[in-house]
Structure 1
């Protein structure tokens, strides 16, 4: 190999190496790939830990004297989850009828419900649901008939305060009656809201 040829090869190698070194910083400067979906901090923590919460409505012999439970599950070990009943409150459903297919009268059909929304100041007007509430949507009874516009709620003004007349004022045990929704007295529904604030939001309600 001649001296001239050696110099040309060395020069070409240096140029190639210099070019690759120059392009490396621009490749490293590319921003990392971002996820295409968004997660709230609470959802991300819940997904990572496996912990979650749910509501459970257990029917008693009296439709106006049943129980609503807030249950927290520590599920990081799926084989041995730890289940904690954080709170329970007296609750009614329906106007006294145990016919789960009776619209605006019977208590809720058994089954699994999705908690579609939580409201701190729901405004349903004088014939609707007001204040603190959880929206459950619609559910079929055993005959296939749909029970509609179901909530967990109380009797209060949209701002959460007591009103001067029905249906914004809780007067006693008779107010556990409803058109089929699950109903708690105002102090208990506030307690339920406060418990929820310390745990993952419940996404399911189980009626048994």
Structure 2
């Protein structure tokens, strides 16, 4: 039979084990939550990346849209260098259906000078929406009469996976100039927008777009 001293020792150990068991659950839960928070903090941002591999944004390059007509204008990739900036690549581009830049959903892009350029907000290679595939999002812009133009993109006609589809909005027919009409965005041939992405993934994504003409 246990002595009084032994019974006291057993009772003390029993209470200790009970306290440890009660502490174990919140401590374990705390560890799980800490691990989850760490995993969230460590997750890579996808603001600019489709696969986390795109080049960082840079001010060394910018885009410039030079207006000609709504179906025959030019989008230029430009590099800042001493003296006159160097045009690295030029693509044929369209914008809108009419030249009134205040016509929401129809007019071409409002002008944007060095003081008030468009911001290049993000880009995707697998965008799935009214427009698909290779897409560059531009910031909103007010036109000359104050009308705010929104949902402005640089895009083409393709499926979300970048391939050609069967419906009109996902198929580039090369029936110039019809394919270059848009609802107010900048529109490129599928091959050209893929080439632009490839170049910018290599040299760095620009932060700004200027619109002149």
Provide the TM-score with structure 1 as the length reference: 0.70
User: How far does residue 179 in structure 1 lie from its aligned partner after superposition?
Assistant: 0.3
User: How far does residue 73 in structure 1 lie from its aligned partner after superposition?
Assistant: 1.9
Equivalent position of 1:20 in the other structure: none
> Where in structure 2 are there 5+ consecutive unaligned residues?
1-52
Equivalent position of 2:200 in the other structure: 196
Provide the TM-score with structure 2 as the length reference: 0.68
CA shift in 2, pair 1:165/1:195, >3 Å:
same
Give every structure 1 segment of 4 or more consecutive aligned residues whose post-TM-superposition deviation is greater than 6 Å: none
Count of aligned positions: 156
Aligned-pair RMSD on alpha carbons? 2.4
Aligned mates of 2:149, 2:182 — CA distance in 1 = 13
Aligned mates of 2:85, 2:106 — CA distance in 1 = 33
CA shift in 2, pair 1:122/1:43, >3 Å:
closer
Once the two structures are superposed, the pairs formed by residues 88-127 of structure 1 within 5 Å of their partners are 88-95=90-97, 97-111=98-112, 112-124=117-129
SS in 1 for 2:198: helix
Equivalent position of 1:207 in the other structure: 211
- Of 63, 77, 91, which residue of structure 2 is paired with 1:55? 63
> Where in structure 1 are there 5+ consecutive unaligned residues?
1-39, 75-79
Maintained 8 Å contact 1:101/1:145:
yes
- Of 166, 169, 174, which residue of structure 2 is paired with 1:167? 169
Q: With CA pairs under 8 Å and 6+ residues apart, which has the higher RCO, 1 or 2? A: 2
